[in-house]
């Protein structure tokens, strides 16, 4: 058996530390929680896009929380409504709020209440952010080039 620390025999390799996590790994881990995904999405879409209007009552699943839970559900392969509700429950407990019921019916109804206008506004926010952050460096001869791969067609 080889000695992992030849100059300091008897010291464990665990004292050497661990490899630094990449930014992608850190963001992926953060996105697995509802609060982390909300922080990531808030960089591109302000929460005011999904702010309830004055005539709406306060609900267990507000539009912003519903959108973030739905986005997490879409981004996670094979995720069901019950898993989205569990994320909302853990977020509520972490924020010292009363968690919603385990039944996914309320979440599904809240998802139906997301208006097409607010989803379009979210799309506009994301596309606007991409356009603002795409400079001439991504252009070829002053033109935006799009590459399509048709080998799977």
Residue 77: its pLDDT value, please? 84
Alpha-carbon span 3 to 24, nearest angstrom: 33
The pLDDT score that the predictor gives to residue 30 is: 58
- 88-111 pLDDT per residue, tens: 898 888 888 888 889 999 999 999
Q: What is the pTM of this model?
A: 0.67
Q: Quote the CA–CA distance of 6 and 4 in Å, as a whole number.
A: 6
| Regions of the chain where pLDDT drops below 70 | 1-21, 23-33, 54-56, 136, 152-153
pLDDT of residue 19: 65
């Amino acid at each position: 058996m080889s000695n992992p620390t030849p100059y300091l025999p008897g010291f464990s390799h665990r004292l050497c530390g661990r490899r630094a996590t990449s930014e992608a790994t850190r963001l992926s881990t953060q996105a697995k929680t509802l609060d982390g995904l909300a922080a990531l999405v808030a960089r591109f879409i302000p929460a005011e896009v999904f702010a309830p209007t004055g005539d709406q009552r306060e609900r267990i699943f507000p539009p912003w929380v519903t959108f973030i839970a739905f986005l997490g559900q879409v981004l996670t392969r094979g995720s069901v409504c019950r898993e989205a509700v569990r994320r909302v429950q853990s977020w509520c407990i972490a924020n010292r709020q009363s968690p919603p019921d385990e039944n996914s019916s309320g979440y599904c109804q809240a998802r139906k209440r997301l208006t097409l206008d607010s989803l379009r506004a979210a799309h506009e926010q994301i596309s606007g952010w991409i356009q603002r952050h795409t400079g001439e460096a991504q252009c070829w001869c002053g033109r935006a080039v799009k590459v399509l791969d048709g080998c799977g067609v």
